[in-house]
Amino acid sequence: MPSIEDELFPSTPGKFKIDRSNRQLHRCFASTSTMFLWALFLIALTASYLSFQSFVDSGSRYLTASWGGIQWEKQVRTSAQIHRSGGISVLVTGATGFVGSHVSLALRKRGDGVVGLDNFNNYYDPSLKRARRSLLSSRGIFVVEGDINDAKLLAKLFDVVAFTHVMHLAAQAGVRYALENPQSYVHSNIAGLVNLLETCKAANPQPAIVWASSSSVYGLNEKVPFSESDRTDQPASLYAATKKAGEEITHTYNHIYGLAITGLRFFTVYGPWGRPDMAYFSFTRNILQGKPITIYRGKNRVDLARDFTYIDDIVKGCLGSLDSSGKSTGSGGKKRGAAPYRIFNLGNTAPVTVPILVDILEKHLKVKAKRNFVEMPGNGDVPFTHANISSARNEFGYKPTTDLETGLKKFVRWYLSYYGYNTKAKLVH
Ligand SMILES: O=C(O)[C@H]1O[C@H](OP(=O)(O)OP(=O)(O)OC[C@H]2O[C@@H](n3ccc(=O)[nH]c3=O)[C@H](O)[C@@H]2O)[C@H](O)[C@@H](O)[C@@H]1O
Q: For residue range 29-44, list pLDDT tens digits in order.
A: 344 455 555 555 555 5
Q: Where in the chain is the domain with CATH 3.40.50.720?
A: 70-269+311-349+384-401
Is the backbone of residue 300 left (phi > 0), alpha (psi -120 to 50) or beta?
A: left
Residue 11 has pLDDT above 60, yes or no: no
Q: How confident is the model at residue 39, as a pLDDT?
A: 53
Residue 144's DSSP bridge partners are: 117
ipTM of the complex: 0.99
Q: What is the DSSP string of 39-101?
A: HHHHHHHHHHHHHHHHHHHHHHHHHTTT--SHHHHHHHHHHH---STT--EEEEETTTSHHHH
Q: What one-character DSSP code corresponds to residue 6? A: H
Give residue ranges with CB within 6 A of ligand 1: 173-175, 214-216, 266-268, 278-279, 294-296, 304, 306, 354, 381
Closest atom of ligand 1 relative to the 280 alpha carbon:
14
CA distances in angstroms from 20 to 23, 31, 368, listed in the order given: 6, 14, 93
Confidence of residue 379 (pLDDT cuts 50, 70, 90): confident
Residue range 179-202: average pLDDT? Answer: 98
- In whole angstroms, give the CA distance from residue 107 to residue 128: 21
Closest among 166, 102, 170 to 136, alpha carbons compared: 102
CATH second-level architecture of 70-269+311-349+384-401?
3-Layer(aba) Sandwich (3.40)
Instruction: Identify the sign of the CA torsion 73, 76, 82, 87.
Output: negative
Q: Are 214 and 266 in contact (CB under 8 A)?
A: yes
**More confident position, 33 or 121:** 121
**Measured in angstroms, how far is the CA atom of residue 193 from the centroid of ligand 1?**
23
Residue 425 has pLDDT above 90, yes or no: no
In this prediction the pTM is 0.86
Closest atom of ligand 1 relative to the 381 alpha carbon:
29
Nearest CA to ligand 1 atom 26: 295
Residue range 114-141: average pLDDT? Answer: 98
- Determine which one of 177, 218, 239, 280 is catalytic: 239
First to last CA, the chain: 56
Instruction: Identify the sign of the CA torsion 249, 268, 239, 192.
Output: negative
**More confident position, 62 or 200:** 200
Q: How confident is the model at residue 28, as a pLDDT?
A: 34
Q: What one-character DSSP code corresponds to residue 331? A: B
Q: For residue range 138-170, list pLDDT tens digits in order.
A: 999 999 999 999 999 999 999 999 999 999 999
Nearest CA to ligand 1 atom 25: 295
**Measured in angstroms, how far is the CA atom of residue 363 from the centroid of ligand 1?**
21
Closest among 126, 134, 135, 104 to 117, alpha carbons compared: 104
Instruction: Note if 421 is an active site residue.
Output: no
